[in-house]
Amino acid sequence: MRLEGRAALITGAGSGIGRATAELFAAEGASVAVLDLDLASAGMTAAAIVDSGGVATPITADVSSAEDVSRGVELATERLGRLDIVYNNAGVDSTGSVANATEENWDRCFDVNVKGTFLVSRAAIPHLDASGGGSIVNQASVAALVGIQGFAAYCAAKGAVVSLTRSMALDLAPMGIRVNALCPGTVYTPLMEPLMLERGEGDLQLGLARTATKYPIGRLGEPSEIARAALFLASDDASFVTGSIFTVDGGMTAQ
Ligand code: 1HS
């Protein structure tokens, strides 16, 4: 029960890593605000937590909208009674090189992955401060640390999240708010399907198999494996950890 009595807000929690993390945080005693663009998906995550005896509330919000974020963070804090943890997990991919990426996809990738992290963190800080401090976990990626063919905007955006995390850690340390970045390797979630299909030339299983060869551990990750790393950074087990760039990647970036 490493998060007993804590209140956590997780973005993009309607599926994949966000859902796995919401369920794990709740199992560890946290009450959880499940934010997602898709309210039905957020509701499914929250229902699964409640059915397991946990506390969760679904909220719909587009993290790239300042108005949506302000409303969503206020609603989350009001419903949970406090705020101690934020996991900026919501993200979108953007396949393509700079030669063929569209301006629309480039902008959306930065609006969600980078601006969304900024907007949610900015809205949450007063509430984390009111709780006496807390933990912000920003979802970066191995794509922040190594180049990936056909993934230009995503690599650039996740690189920005790493730099933003370091600056946030320095700015928020005096408030007792720790800020760390998680850099997951590939976990097969809806976010990854476009890249896997492109990598497999239309064959999803071939794309997944080709991707697994990039991982010394011999396989892709599971959402629960990323969730456990997020739990560590969110909990007091990481009380002396801030500004860190935490890879969870099966050795992919060690090569
Ligand atoms: C989606 C996650 O941030 C990993 S980025 C893709 C890395 S790989 O598929 O080229 O190994």
**What pLDDT digit, counting tens, does each position of 128-165 carry?**
999 999 999 999 999 999 999 999 999 999 999 999 99
**Residue minimizing CA distance to atom 7 of ligand 1:** 186
Task: Say if residues 121 and 172 touch (Cβ distance below 8 Å).
Answer: no
The Cα–Cα gap between 140 and 97 comes to 19
**Residue minimizing CA distance to atom 2 of ligand 1:** 186
Q: Which of 139, 142, 158 to mutate to test the pocket of ligand 1 (most atoms within 8 A of CB)?
A: 142
> Does residue 186 have its Cβ closer than 6 Å to ligand 1?
yes
Task: Say if residues 36 and 190 touch (Cβ distance below 8 Å).
Answer: no
- From the centroid of its chain, how far is CA 126? 20
Express each pLDDT in 107-135 by its tens digit.
Answer: 999 999 999 999 999 999 999 999 999 99
